[in-house]
Chain A
Amino acid sequence: MTERETRCLAEKAAVAARRGAGLGRLIRIEMSKLARSHLFWAGFVLLAGFALLVLLGFKTSNFNALQRTLNKLGRGIDHKPFINGLLYSAWSMGLGHSLLAPLFVTVLFAWQLAGEAKEGTLRSMLLRPISRLQIFAAKFIAVYFFVLVLLVFQYGLCLMIGHFGLGQEGVGLVVFGKTFFNDEAHRPWLMGRDLALERMALGCVLGCLSLAPLAAFSYLLSALLENPVVAILTGFSVYIASVLLAEVPFFTELRPYLFTTYTSFWKGVFYPEIDWAGMWPAARMCGLFAAAFLGIGAAVFRWRDIRT
């Protein structure tokens, strides 16, 4: 390598380092904005409220479905020891992932660019010497990290509430039904306490990753639309329509093209043996959908006129 080539490489590395440092600084700024916003604390309060609601449900339910499940495992098994903190935590997590997290993710990501555009702060940001792509990337990364923090918080909170509210008596976690399995007909099984904690932690992280296509789609809408309310409603509508379409038998041909078809891969952690090879295609499809939505969103944001 000649001296000139070496110098050229060094200059390129310096430029890349500066850009990296710029992105890092932007991510920190976005995180500090999030941490100081009402939305941040509202997320924690909503999750805590949801956890308490599920606890209330646990306290008042007669658990007929659980008893029927245990009857399949063997006659005379009483369901009461299984109504423990582990079952509560896993149920809260599962429900939270299926119901609450999509709602949260849609609102958070659809708000980011459209909300700031509507309030004029996006314009103020773009009057500063930073690239639009860096803003686009920094916001996405910061909010995604925030979603991960929320899910980890939910995981910890549910374990704590479960432990103190219902106790963990050592019989483990009975895994059954649609909350845990993608195929409802899967045979229920009993997971040991330590394994359950480990699998739930893994489910928390993979569940967060499975939200990437919805996050990217909502973010694309945010880049495309100037009204955050329209972006959020459109995001919800598309998500719900995709979920419903996937359930309709004569739309089976359509399923491979819907991102919601692939987003439950994280439930694979609740099977007796984790089938990584079986989970990978769905995870990869999630990644591809997310990358496509982000690519289109970045292009739109880069070329869009800021008229608000």
Chain B
Amino acid sequence: MPPDLLLRTENLAKRYGRRTAVDGISIEVRRGDIFGFLGPNGAGKTTTIRMILGLIRPSAGRVELLGYEMPAGRRRALVRVGAIVDTPAFYGALSARANLELFAALAGGATRAQVDQAIRRVGLAGREGDPVRAYSYGMRQRLGLAQALLPDPELILLDEPSLGLDPRGMKEMRDLILDLNRTEGLTICLSSHLLAEVQQVCNRIAIIDRGRLRFQGEVGRLLEQRPTWRLRATPADTARAVVEEFVAGGCGGGERAAAGGDGPGPTPGAGAVRGEDGALLLELAAEAIPEVNARLVARGVRVYEITPLSATLEDVFLKLTDEPAGAGAR
């Protein structure tokens, strides 16, 4: 595994009887990334994270974590990995500090200064002596992050870190994640179904739906690769026919590799044409637009407007997860 790769999965799969929870997921997390693992509820995000961390044995495929094959190398790998999986769980009768010390001791121990720093870092200073059972959900999430920071991780995996937090708590969690990445150089991999969170925090993402990977790559390039254009032209029927011929001819400009995804294969839905308010909405790569325009003009269509519409992650996410399973990038 190249040294800048901290996590790599290859065709990772998990089946429970006839049900396939995760189906051949291959992702890569690079040093310094804030990697978002995005998908609707039940998409297989938590199962994948559990397989990465050795809590669940894969049915097929492999995981390399910090260069160690999992689950065989989990003891070596987990020395430099902090994680929250699902809801952070603690011993309710013990204080936050006692919990942190206890879990850090399981990883070889942390100094009092390290524990203090982790407590300060997540904003729990002054409350560290309270029993955890008196903590709110948000405080437990913060404590979970503090636990993941001890003793000295290189990579942190966070499963839905903002789940159950109020808007202020979510913002603080986002700021904290960004700060940890920028000031301490921590690589962070987080799963979420909150698109805004991922868009604001992550530089690279993987989109998973119904257990299958639909996209992996940089957020910016994902948005660029699926631009939507509004076309106003008359006669509309001829314009539509021209564009559909263009798309059917394989000129949609949707070659995935060229468009920003990390993996090979066509971009699902590229070149789709929809009608809206008397205009046509085209999903085409920017490079395809002059050619479309030329063909329209050549067929006598009067073109009034071809305007790029700015796509949001939500648009792209919904498109990807609306498509039938199997149409996505692998």
Give chain A's interface residues, CB within 8 Å of chain B: 25-26, 29, 32-33, 36-38, 119-121, 123-131, 303, 305-307
Binds A, one of B87-95, B121-129, B274-282, B318-326: B87-95
Contact between chains at A123 and B89 (CB < 8 Å): yes
Contact B53 A129 (CB under 8 A): no
List B70-109 residues whose CB lies under 8 Å from chain A: 74-79, 81, 83, 85-91, 93-94, 98, 102-103, 105-108
Pick from A26, A37, A306: contact of B93, CB below 8 A: A37
Shortest Cβ gap from B123 to chain A (Å): 21
What count of chain B residues pass the 8 Å CB interface test? 31
**Closest partner residue, chain A, to B89 (CB atom):** A120
| Cross-chain contact A128 with B93 (CB below 8 angstroms) | no
Min CB distance B160 to A, Å, is 14
B47 → chain A closest CB, angstroms: 8
Q: Is the Cβ of A303 less than 8 Å from the Cβ of B87?
A: no
Interface residues of B in 294-322 (CB under 8 A from A): none
Q: A305-B56, A306-B55, A307-B56 are in contact. Are A121 and B90 (CB under 8 A)?
A: yes
Q: Is the contact region of chain A dominated by helix, strand, or loop, or is it mixed?
A: helix
B94 engages A131 (CB within 8 Å)? no
Give the residue of B56, B87, B106, B107 whose beta carbon is less than 8 angstroms from that of A120. B87
Question: Contact: A130 with B89, CB < 8 Å?
Answer: no
Docked pose: A53 CA to B203 CA in angstroms: 68
Interface check B147, CB cutoff 8 A? yes
Q: Other CB < 8 Å A-B pairs besides A26-B106, A128-B107, A130-B106, 8 of them?
A: A36-B98, A121-B89, A124-B88, A126-B54, A127-B53, A303-B57, A305-B55, A307-B50
User: In the complex, A126→B50 CA distance in Å?
Assistant: 11
Residues of A with C-beta under 8 A to B105? 25, 29
| Chain B: CB-nearest residue to A117 | B89
Question: Would you mind naming 15 contact pairs between A and B with Cβ atoms under 8 Å apart?
Answer: A36-B94, A36-B98, A37-B93, A119-B89, A124-B88, A125-B106, A127-B55, A127-B81, A127-B83, A127-B85, A128-B78, A128-B103, A129-B107, A130-B107, A307-B55
* CB nearest neighbor in A for B88: A124
CB-based A-B contact count at 8 angstroms = 70
Minimal Cβ-Cβ distance residue in B for A37:
B93
C-alpha spacing A3/B105, complex, angstroms: 36
Indicate which residue in A33, A119, A123, A131 contacts B102 across the interface (CB closer than 8 Å): A33
Task: Report the Cα distance A33→B108, complex, angstroms.
Answer: 17
Q: Which 10 A-B pairs have the closest CB atoms?
A: A120-B89, A128-B106, A129-B78, A306-B55, A305-B56, A129-B79, A129-B75, A128-B107, A121-B89, A127-B83
Mask: chain B, 170-211; 1 = CB below 8 Å from A; 0 = not: 000000000000000000000000000000000000000000
Please name all residues of chain B whose beta carbon is closer than 8 Å to the beta carbon of A126 when the two chains form the complex. Answer: 54-55
With A33-B102, A120-B87, A123-B89 as known contacts, state yes or no: A306 contacts B94, CB within 8 Å.
no
- B89 near A306 with CB under 8 A, answer no
- B74–A129 contact, CB under 8 A? yes
Query: Bound state CA distance, A97 and B298, in angstroms?
Result: 98
A307–B94 Cα distance when bound, in Å, is 24
> Do B57 and A123 touch across chains, with their CB atoms under 8 A apart?
no
- The CA of A303 and the CA of B50, in the complex, are separated in Å by 14
**Which A residues lie within 8 Å of B75 (CB)?**
129-131
A contact residues around B87 at 8 Å (CB)? 120
Shortest beta-carbon distance from A130 to chain B in Å: 6
Asked whether A124 lies within 8 Å of B76 as measured between CB atoms, the reply is: no
* Residues of the A chain whose Cβ atoms lie less than 8 Å from the Cβ of B107: 128-130
A104 and B114 CA atoms in complex are apart in Å by 39
- Contact between B102 and A29, CB atoms less than 8 A apart: yes
Q: Which residue of B lies closest to A129 (CB)?
A: B78
